[in-house]
Amino acid sequence: MGKVIVVFVGPAGSGKSTLVAAYAKWLREGDASVYTVNLDPAAETLPYEPSLDVRSIVDAREVARKYGLGPNGALVKSMELVTERLEEITSKIAAAEADYVLVDTPGQMEVFLFRDLSWRLAEALRGISPESYAVFVLDASVIRDPADYAFLVTMATAVQLRLGLETAPVLNKIDLVPDVEITGDLLRDFGRVSRALREAGSVYAEMLREMLRVLLKYNRRVEVPRVSALKGEGIEELHRLVLEMSCSCGDLS
């Protein structure tokens, strides 16, 4: 098995960095070697010690000073500078001797996902290892009703289309919403979801069912890991998901 690369994508506050920290710790406890990458030039503190830190190449605070920009302008400018120096970053990832590479993307998802860095990075990672994947991390408290569950899966599909990397949804911070009505089993949950929508008389019920059918046809994974990165819970589920993606890569390429 070559290097397995996992890119963590998700909106601000979804707990990507904490999840990278918890997963790296878990993998190392199992004697795997892990290379962690921080891609956020504006990160203040990180819950892990990155093997490669983009801030040593581009620091948003220095960019703000140098170009006289506010925090948002500095972030956007920093992302451009990171994109220009992407090869420097990916060549280090390629050279890293590790079983797993975990890539932590910028706090603000949209400065990554909707800009060139996202697909350029993904393209480079695919070149480094065919076993490159992404997870779409969402704070479980965002899930409030059946449609939100479909939202989660649809967002993961959007990320997959953007990156060209197989992408699975992960629910984080599950400790904060102990009563979230999600079993993590897409088949079962979606069944309940579409029943609930149908009962509510929503036109989306049938659309969701049909979308589920398509998504499941091309994703044999039906489990959504329910994780608490903070408490270190559910990390094994996350790892099982990564292994499952890894097993199916032969069929997908």
- The one-letter code for the residue type at 240 is R
Rounded CA gap, 213 and 143, in Å? 21
Instruction: Take residue 18 and report the two structure tokens written for it.
Output: 């904490």
Query: Judged by CB, which is closer to a second copy: 124, or 211?
Result: 211
- Min separation Cβ 29 and a second copy, Å: 31
* Interface with a second copy, residue 222, by CB under 8 A: no
* Interface with a second copy, residue 126, by CB under 8 A: no
Minimal CA–CA distance to 41: which of 80, 15, 92, 87? 80
* Interface with a second copy, residue 247, by CB under 8 A: no
- Give burial (CB, 10 Å; 0-12/13-18/19+) of 235: buried
* Interface with a second copy, residue 196, by CB under 8 A: no
Overall residue count recorded for the chain in this entry: 253
Q: Which one among 32, 81, 196, 211 touches a second copy, defined by CB under 8 A?
A: 211
Site string for a second copy, 67-96 (x = CB under 8 A): ---xxx---x--------------------
Rounded CA gap, 245 and 104, in Å? 19
Q: Which one among 110, 185, 199, 236 touches a second copy, defined by CB under 8 A?
A: 110
* Interface with a second copy, residue 218, by CB under 8 A: yes
- Min separation Cβ 12 and a second copy, Å: 6
Query: Judged by CB, which is closer to a second copy: 51, or 172?
Result: 172
DSSP state letter for 61: H
Rounded CA gap, 161 and 148, in Å? 20
Minimal CA–CA distance to 196: which of 147, 142, 144? 147
Instruction: Give yes or no for a contact between 226 and 11, defined as CB atoms under 8 angstroms apart.
Output: no
* Interface with a second copy, residue 249, by CB under 8 A: no
Site string for a second copy, 28-57 (x = CB under 8 A): ------------------------------
Rg (CA), the chain: 18
- For 32, 98, 124, 144, the CA distances from 82, given in Å and listed in that order, are 29, 23, 14, 36
Contacts with a second copy in 129-188 (CB under 8 A)? 138-139, 142, 144, 147-148, 150-151, 154-155, 157-158, 161-162, 164
Instruction: Take residue 20 and report the two structure tokens written for it.
Output: 């990278």
Q: Which one among 188, 210, 231, 236 touches a second copy, defined by CB under 8 A?
A: 210
Interface residues with a second copy (CB under 8 A) are: 11-14, 70-72, 76, 107-111, 113-116, 119, 138-139, 142, 144, 147-148, 150-151, 154-155, 157-158, 161-162, 164, 203-204, 206-208, 210-211, 214, 217-218, 251-253
